[in-house]
Structure 1
Amino acid sequence: MPVKAISSTEEYQTFLASAPATKLVVVDFTATWCPPCQLIKPFFKKLSDEFHHVAFLEANTQIGKLQGANSKDLHNLIKQHQGPVEDAGEGSGSGSGSAPLVAGHSDITDQITLNQVDCLNQQTANPVQNALKAGDAYLESDVDEQLIIYAPFNQAVKLHSIRIIPNDIAKAPKTVKLYVNRLSLGFDEAESVEPTQIIELTDEHYKGNGLIPLRFVKFQNVTSVILFVEDNMEDEETTQIKQISFIGSSIESTDMSALKKIEHDH
């Protein structure tokens, strides 16, 4: 397969998260100013032509640099770019520290204004509030597999990633469209309005930690987010979600919880 150019850390993380566990991914971390990098480039391309079932990536983006034997700077550089940290207790609940953490970010699910959360096509017996807290309860759709979840934050945040834990993988979300800073969205609109990001989930994703990196540059000043679950993994009649967590950081202290959401009927 052709060599895929990677332009950001988020794109790199998303590719790795979506790749099957059995698929080999070979990454060439290169630079235009590096003679050895340019020397090996044609051979790397030749390998990608030979091994069609292997994923070949090329990353020409520098996110950190260290020269010399400086132990303190090395420690700080690793700390800065350490990536997600697994929590010891999986499913221990939403709130700070309960989901895998990302350097510089934390679980900000507790910053959602719960009394303004809404979900279209949810079952009365299994509402969206079940998915925003720990426990055995879950969210389930009603008349078909689709869900539209509206989650407002009580202050503006930077949203780095979301985490979806399935109740039943067969009924877990497959295609999820995210919309930032919209007060409402109907099912008809969801088919025509351009989403901020589209996520295609796989079985391998749900066998991992459930962390879904977002295009961070598009989620820098988020006051609300809408998740449109378009379908599920095995085309079941209904979709189920055990837990949804939001990973990010606050950017201001203005409390948004007093703002009233515009009602929108399904």
Structure 2
Amino acid sequence: MSQHFSVRASATQQYQQGLKIAIEMVRQICSATEFNELIMGDKVVFVDFYATWCGPCKAISPFFAAMSEKFPGAEYIKVDVDEVPDVAEKAGIKAMPTFHAYKAGKKISELVGADPKKLEAMIAKHA
């Protein structure tokens, strides 16, 4: 029984370590300038517009981070709508979470809500 527990604990530790690495691959945006520079690049940029007080935002955040590992060819960024309200306003954010995909400065996709299946489908389509 202790060996079974050890294997389970090891698997849990590996999962947590992988999740930590994935979360570190998602960049927090602190200014409109930083946001604009990133979305103007050649790579597709997936954006998680969120608020710290938003329960569904907290729930889907680890999933968004995991997508950065599953589809590594794109950029993944987060925008706190309360910290960078000018970016959220310019992007037309009315509800959180909202996810956008940008390519060469143009929005190519949008998803409102915390639906993991729809989010993965959006990322898979554009990554």
Q: Which has the larger radius of gyration?
A: 1
Which structure has more relative contact order (CA 8 Å, sep 6+)? It is 2
Structure in which a larger fraction of residues adopt helix: 2
Structure in which a larger fraction of residues adopt strand: 1
